[in-house]
Structure 1
């Protein structure tokens, strides 16, 4: 029995979104906001960014605008304003925005066929015309990429890793094994100098 391509893509998109959201569970407000890379990557910012991406691609591009303003995009905000929560934005506000943004995107995905046309105004003109199918693939790749970023950031915060609660997707070993493994890799890296 075959499966529907749109349903498959949508299922994987939902799984990637859930993985990213799960990375905030159990962390303090400080830990979800703290920048852990030189470019400021942080968990709450990844969530805000990915929700914004969903709104733009499954809203603006397909002629189904999101019904609320996103000042960090519409007001020509500072560079990377969508990659962090401002001091005025609470964790709860960002998570609520996440749910509203993805409900809007899901409604669009469910309402339109894979060949539904769209236009990406911020892409070069020769690539700006697009279909729902291409959008689903593009956004799935974007969300999965950022879920991977979130996995690494979360591991830097408290050592937690994996795709979802109860399924780390890593070999089952105790902390001593992982410490030894890390040390062996460091030894190999040093020997390669």
Structure 2
């Protein structure tokens, strides 16, 4: 194995690149769980939970767009769709392909917002929500990216269980 500094000098090492890379890895794991599914399979519940694979993709797509707006605008306003409880399930007319396109758009939005901030220490006020503490809370761009990594990883785990209950496939054993 080459451990010379010349070899490693070409590897990205800045924190922003590392965090976005970790988020991309979690997204890739999640996307394995929806590979080869029909719309009906993506909308099907396989556990007592209301979660479906399509609903998870829809929620994460919305989440990336919402957090991109929070990071970019920094005004503390509630972004459109943030409080929509319908984001957790496929609605009539939703297709898995369409939800995957929305997820890709959300991915581009968060990557653009992260690239635009001058530093990851930049803070923004979080929108006021029913579950917020009474005082205004500020998060850094770094904290937002870490939150998205955690959120995506958590839902990738949910998706793996749902997919395994659906047809036995998961992120390591596809059908």
TM-score bin (small chain): 0.7 to 0.9
Residues 11 and 49 (structure 1), Cα distance of their counterparts in 2 relative to 1, 3 Å cut: same
1:50 to 17, 35, 60: 60
Runs (4+) off by over 3 Å: none
CA shift at 1:90, angstroms? 2.0
Match in the other structure for 2:13: 3
Match in the other structure for 1:116: 122
Instruction: Spell out, residue by residue over 1:55-105, the C-alpha distance to the aligned partner (whole angstroms, 9 max, x if none).
Output: 11121344179xxx96xx26x65xx31111101222222111111111111
1:100 to 95, 105, 128: 105
CA shift at 1:39, angstroms? 2.5
Q: Does 1:143 align with 2:148?
A: no
Residues 146 and 154 (structure 1), Cα distance of their counterparts in 2 relative to 1, 3 Å cut: same
SS at match of 2:73: coil
If asked which structure has higher relative contact order (CA below 8 Å, sep 6+), I would say 2
* Long gaps (5+) in structure 1: 163-167, 171-193
* Long gaps (5+) in structure 2: 1-7
Do the aligned partners of 2:74 and 2:125 also contact (CA within 8 Å) in 1?
no
2:162 to 144, 149, 153: 153
Do the aligned partners of 1:52 and 1:101 also contact (CA within 8 Å) in 2?
yes
CA distance in 1, matches of 2:64, 2:86: 16
Cα RMSD over matched residues? 2.4
- For 1:1-193, list aligned pairs within 5 A: 3-63=13-73, 73=81, 77=84, 80-112=85-117, 113-121=119-127, 122=129, 123-126=132-135, 128-162=137-171, 168=172
CA distance in 1, matches of 2:60, 2:20: 15
Match in the other structure for 1:190: none
Do the aligned partners of 2:47 and 2:165 also contact (CA within 8 Å) in 1?
no
Residues 8 and 102 (structure 1), Cα distance of their counterparts in 2 relative to 1, 3 Å cut: same
CA distance in 1, matches of 2:153, 2:134: 26
- TM-score, normalized by length of structure 2? 0.79
SS at match of 1:95: helix
- TM-score, normalized by length of structure 1? 0.72
